[in-house]
Structure 1
Amino acid sequence: MDFANYTSISEFVLLGLTDLTKLQVILFIFFLMFYVTSLIGNLSIMVITIIDSSLHTPMYYFLWNLSCLDICYSSSVLPKMLRDFLALEKTISFAGCISQMHFFHFLGSTEVMLLTAMSYDRYVAIGNPLRYSAIMNTRVCRCLAFGSWMTGYFHSLLHTVMVARLPFCGPNLVKHFFCDIKPVLKLACTDTSLNLKLLTRVTGTLATTTLLLTLLSYVCISKFLIRIKTSQGRKRAFSTCSAHLTVVFLFYGTAIFTYLRPSTQDSLDQDRAAAVLFTVITPALNPIIYTLRNKDIKKAMKKIVASLSF
């Protein structure tokens, strides 16, 4: 699509988090540390789950997809954000802005779908362990993962096409550190009520439906946990879910807070703060959460380190 045909603005200026030079340097170092942590942590999980044959199970197949998503998700925003901390001109082309918007929402909505698939996987593993391998076979896992990626892609495509077709006459100052839908819509010189309704209803339906399905899985899981007679057995079963639950609450909490509220000036300022959590911090925390809570991954890491030392 030739975006230039739809607008008189050729580029936007990202205002970022702050215009204080000293604070920008501090934030650059802070976010760079989180980005490097995210890359190393998620790449490590991807490599470990491929190398260690004992991790070739549905749970770790989905975890591999989640780690891949987190790398791409943070990379859709952070490299440009880090560059802007040190740049005098924080510009982004119109096509670049729309592309960043698309990949951000594509990967973000794919993640909520994937987290739902992971909760179903845990439900089957705990509720029906004898038939787990038959139910969560290779074909089903691939369909769930592929369906998550495709749903995320078309969900994002709807919003980005709708935004790309709007006329933008100026000003071109985006009050955010990346091109998100709400702050860009503020700059359109036409009525954007349809876009905002689509954002609230379509994104809201996707977020609430996947969240309810995830919670339903855990309600069913809790019923099975109650039936386990030994406390050690309950603890072992719950430990496979606790990391996933932590990630779910982190991700859904900020996403719902950002996209299901009315768009006001105060809400946009709050959105910037919330966006830091799910674009910078959460992708870096995910591998730490799963590693600290997962004996299989820690065992696989020790095995790989031991083999490299000889």
Structure 2
Amino acid sequence: MHEVVQDYSAAQVATGFSWTECPRWHDGALYFSDMYAARVIRVAPDGSWSVFADFSDRVGLDGARVVTVGIGFLPDGRLIANSMFERVVLVWDGERAEVYADLRPFAPGPVNDMVVDAEGRAYVTQLGYDLWKKEEPVQTAILLVETGGSVRELEEAGLLTAANGITISADGGTVVTAEAPEKRLIAFDRASDGTLTAPRVFAELDLLPDGVCFDAEGAVWVAQPGGGAAIRVVEGGEITARVTIDAERGGRTTACGLGGEDRRTLYVCCGFEVWDFDASVRGGKGSIWAADVPVGAGEARP
């Protein structure tokens, strides 16, 4: 790994959540998944926050607990969210949730993160096996949810172990995901129909990667739960910048996303308790942090 050339400190923006994940800038505000509370939070530019979508009253399919993880917005403004253990994508109409896409035929275990492209197609990553039950790893494919809710397995992209965060480059031609247990980022070429091909290593990392986001220059910001930071990595593995979090107040860094008026603010999700769902909700120590960085997201997604 190469020397970090620029270091930025982050400030806490909001707190009071469970395990926070998947920050998305949309329509002038930050949205993220308050996972174990089964809700999506909206944070205004002044730091005030409110519950945007509440899934906590939902009865999970097949008796599964409802845990919201990857989120995104369709071109018509509707929110979609992965229900991790139900293995479905839910759509929120402002009052209630319905199943938008059923991933169960393609997902042997919990689903994970999501990124939505400009056309409204959603790429969904999978854990593939239940980490909380200490199951053995199972490799799975990235799933593509088409604009009408149909699902296809992206076989050309190959199989991955516990794929996590996922992001689309500013020109739309590249997708990168974090293959968490392998401590690396994997890149794919992206076709106009959404197909992913030519899997390759974008960067080898020293610590497990979680959530990711591209910036306009083609670098990827990566949240590393074991490092108390998010790092900016260029293809090949060079680290060019780091946003650090006060570990005593923030805990572990889980995900990151670029937002703000010019999308030059890196928002970082943080949490303390990922294994005990109820303790995570009761503790309410999850938080959001922010740091201004020189390169914005441009047209990169999320």
Fold shared, TM-score > 0.5 on shorter chain: no
Q: TM-score range by the shorter chain?
A: under 0.3
* Greater fraction helix: 1
TM-score by length of 1: 0.26
* Greater fraction strand: 2
